[in-house]
Amino acid sequence: MLALFSSPNLFAEGNNTEIESLWRFATQLKNTVGQDVNKLDAIIPVPLVREDQNIAERLKAAPFSIEGGIEITKMSVRLDPDNPGKIYIISYDVANANILLEDVRKTYPQLKLIDVPHGHSKDETFSWITPVDKNGNGIGLGFPYAQPSYLKNMTLRNFVN
C-alpha cells in the first residue's frame, strides 16, 4: 500500500534527477561557447568528428547518454569562422526525457519566447531562451509545434552578438 502512495513521488524525483542532470550538462556546454573546442573533450563522452571532411568548422558527435539516462542525439558543434578553433554554436536533440515547459520554468522563470512556428512543417518548434550570462551566452530550448508538450532540442550560443 505504501508503494502505491509513494510511486508518484518516485517518478517526480526521477524526473527531477533527469532535469538537474540536463541543466548541468547544458550549463557546462554553454560555458564553452567562445572557448577552444578542446574544452568539450571533458564534457562530451564521445569524440567530435567533422560532418564533412572538407569543412573544418562543422563537427558532430554520435549519440550518447548523460547522467539520469537522457539521450543526446544529433549533436552539432559549429566553430567560429572568424576565430578558428573557438566554439560558436552547440545544438542537439534531447531524447527520452519527458521535460515540459513548466519543468523548465521552475529553473528558468524568466524564459523568453523568441520564435513561434508558422505551421508550415511538423518539425517546427516554439523556441525559448534562458537569461543570458555575462558573456551573452544562453540556452535555447525547442518545443515541437506538432506535439508541444516535451522538450525536443537545445541550442547553446551567444544570443547577444
Count of domains observed in the chain: 1
Residue range of the domain that includes 135: 2-158
* pLDDT of 1 higher than 70: no
* pLDDT interval class at 148 (50, 70, 90): low
Q: Which tens digit of pLDDT belongs to each residue from 72-98? A: 999 999 999 999 999 999 999 999 888
Query: Mapping DSSP to helix (H, G, I), strand (E, B) and coil, where does residue 29 land?
Result: helix
Whole-number pLDDT of residue 161 = 77
* pLDDT interval class at 12 (50, 70, 90): very low
Contact status, residue 93 vs residue 72, Cβ threshold 8 Å = yes
pTM (predicted TM-score): 0.85
* pLDDT interval class at 125 (50, 70, 90): confident
β-strand partners of 125: 144
Q: Given phi > 0 = left and psi -120 to 50 = alpha, else beta, which region is 34?
A: left
* pLDDT of 66 higher than 90: yes
User: What would the grid cell of residue 46 be?
Assistant: 564521445
